[in-house]
Structures are given as structure tokens and as C-alpha cells.
């Protein structure tokens, strides 16, 4: 069952990633990219990494994709105003992408042995174990970071208020 879900998510992720590249409409490309991010999040769930799934969905499929859609809509891309690429540039891009594929295949050669090994503690990536580690072993850095973020928020509010008060 899990293997079938993995294959389905992989197929949809690869298909939607290809559609991101080959889609002519930039809004459709962003929507296909959201589908790709959800499929990658599904892979995190299959690995029992619920925290990574939630963070991935909130950060990438939520915040960054909304920003991409906003920028695309603000740019108002038209085919008439878009400059056309020369044939030499297209050939150079094809050669560079082929070289990138060769480098990736070469770097992944021999990794099938690492994929078959199971981790010793399968529950290491759960949110409960992450919370225990964060609040037991890293409590002081966690609290220092929270105070630093609070100070940055207060500073941003003060800077924003002083500009509006002067007007």
C-alpha cells in the first residue's frame, strides 16, 4: 500500500514539475508547482516526518506560492512585450541542462546501498520527539531565539509607528 502511494506521489510530482516548465501560462506554472510541493509533502508523510510536512506546506505551498502569484499578477506578463530568446541561447540552455543531468547521475551513482539501510530509531522525526529534544536539550537557545524575535517584532513596530506619526 505504501509503495503504491509512493509511486503515485512520485508520478504526480514529476508530471506536475514537468508541467511547471512546459506550461505557457505563468499562473498555471505556479499552480502546478503547488501540486508538486504537496506531493513532496506527501513523501514527508510517508517517511513519518509530520513536522517537516507541516512546515513544508505552510512555508512553501502557503507563503512562497502566494508571493509568486502576487508577483506574477503584478508583472502583467504579455506575449507581445516579452523578448524572444535567440536560438543560440536555447541550444546553450539545452547543453547546460544535459550536463547537469550527467553530473546528477554521476553523483547519485552508488547510493542504492544507502537507501536500503533503515534508521535505528524510526520515531526520531515525530513532532513529539522533536519537542522533547527542543525543550530539554536546547531550551536556552530556543528561549534566546524567541526573545530575539520578540525584540525584532517590537523594533519593526516602533519603526513603522514613528514613520506614520511624522506624517
Q: What is the DSSP string of 110-125?
A: TTHHHHHPPPS-GGGG
Q: Return the C-alpha cell found at 43.
A: 513523501
Residue 26 confidence (pLDDT): 81
Q: Which residues does 2 contact at the CB level (< 8 Å), separation at least 6?
A: 46
Residue 17 confidence (pLDDT): 94
Task: Enumerate the domain spans of the chain.
Answer: 2-136, 137-167
Query: What confidence tens digit (pLDDT) does each residue in 37-60 have?
Result: 999 999 999 988 888 888 888 888
Residue with cell 506619526: 165
* CATH number corresponding to 2-136: 1.20.120.1200
Which stretches of the chain drop beneath a pLDDT of 70? Answer: 76-83, 110-125, 162-167
Work out the number of other CB atoms within 10 angstroms of the CB of residue 128.
10
> CA-CA distance, 126 to 165, in Å (whole number)?
47
Residue 94 confidence (pLDDT): 92
Residue 164 confidence (pLDDT): 55
Residue 5 confidence (pLDDT): 92
Amino acid at each position: 500500500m505504501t509503495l503504491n502511494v509512493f509511486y503515485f506521489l512520485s508520478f504526480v510530482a514529476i508530471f506536475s514539475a514537468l508541467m511547471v516548465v512546459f506550461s505557457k501560462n505563468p499562473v498555471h506554472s505556479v499552480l502546478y508547482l503547488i501540486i508538486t510541493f504537496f506531493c513532496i509533502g506527501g513523501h514527508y508523510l510517508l517517511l513519518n516526518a509530520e513536522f517537516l510536512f507541516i512546515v513544508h506546506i505552510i512555508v512553501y505551498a502557503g507563503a512562497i506560492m502566494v508571493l509568486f502569484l502576487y508577483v506574477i499578477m503584478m508583472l502583467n506578463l504579455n506575449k507581445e512585450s516579452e523578448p524572444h530568446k535567440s536560438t543560440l541561447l536555447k541550444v546553450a540552455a539545452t547543453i547546460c541542462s544535459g550536463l547537469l543531468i550527467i553530473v546528477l547521475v554521476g553523483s547519485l551513482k552508488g547510493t542504492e546501498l544507502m537507501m536500503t539501510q533503515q534508521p535505528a530509531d524510526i520515531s526520531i522525526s515525530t513532532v513529539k520527539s522533536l519537542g522533547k529534544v527542543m525543550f530539554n536539550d536546547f531550551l536556552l537557545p530556543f528561549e534566546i531565539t524567541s526573545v530575539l524575535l520578540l525584540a525584532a517584532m517590537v523594533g519593526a513596530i516602533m519603526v513603522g509607528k514613528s514613520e506614520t506619526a511624522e506624517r
